[in-house]
C-alpha cells in the first residue's frame, strides 16, 4: 500500500482542468496525492457507457483504490470541453449519470462525487456523495 492519503479523479485530458480538480480534492478531503485518470470528455464516456468490455477507466480506478488505498473518487466535467462539446445542462446530466456508472462498479470508494469546472476554472459540486 502506498504512503500518504490518495484520492482518484476521472478527468478530461484538457490540461486546464488538472490542477483545479487536484487542488480542490487535496484541500476538500485533506489528501496528499491524486491519481488522475484522463479521457476526452469522461463525463460523456461514462454517462453513455461508451467503453469496451475490458473498461480501462474502471481498471485504473480499481488499481487506485486497491494499490493506493484511495477512498475518494471524483468525476469531472468542464466548460469548453472539446471531448464533450455540449451545453452545461447536458454536462450536468452526464456527470450525474457518470456517478451512477462509477457506483455500479462496486469499487471500495467511500465517496463518489461529480463536479463541474466552470469557465473561471473553479470546482462546483454537482453530485455529492451518498
Query: pLDDT tens digits for the chain (130 residues)?
Result: 568 999 999 999 999 999 999 999 999 999 999 999 999 999 999 998 776 666 899 999 999 999 999 999 999 999 999 999 999 999 999 999 999 999 999 999 999 999 999 999 999 999 887 6
pTM score: 0.93
DSSP line for 24-69 = HHHHHHT-SEEEEEE-SSHHHHHHTT---TT-HHHHHHHHHHHHH-
CB neighbours of residue 92 within 10 Å: 17
Right CATH number for 8-127 from 3.40.1050.10, 1.20.120.550, 3.30.365.10, 1.10.1060.10?
3.40.1050.10
What separation in angstroms does the CA of 74 have from each of 53, 117? Answer: 22, 12
| Spatial separation of the C-alpha atoms in residues 40 and 96, rounded to whole Å | 17
Amino acid at each position: 500500500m502506498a504512503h500518504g492519503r490518495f484520492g482518484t479523479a476521472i478527468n478530461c485530458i484538457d490540461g486546464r482542468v488538472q490542477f483545479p480538480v487536484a487542488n480542490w480534492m487535496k484541500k476538500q478531503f485533506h489528501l496528499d496525492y491524486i491519481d488522475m485518470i484522463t479521457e476526452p470528455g469522461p463525463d460523456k464516456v461514462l454517462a453513455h457507457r461508451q467503453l469496451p468490455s475490458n473498461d480501462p477507466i474502471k481498471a485504473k480506478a480499481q488499481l487506485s483504490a486497491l494499490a493506493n488505498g484511495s477512498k475518494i473518487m471524483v468525476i469531472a466535467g468542464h466548460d469548453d470541453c472539446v471531448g464533450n462539446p455540449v451545453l452545461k445542462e447536458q454536462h450536468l446530466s452526464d456527470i450525474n449519470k457518470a456517478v451512477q456508472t462509477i457506483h455500479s462498479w462496486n469499487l471500495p470508494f467511500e465517496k463518489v462525487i461529480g463536479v463541474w469546472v466552470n469557465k473561471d476554472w473553479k470546482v462546483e459540486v454537482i453530485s455529492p456523495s451518498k
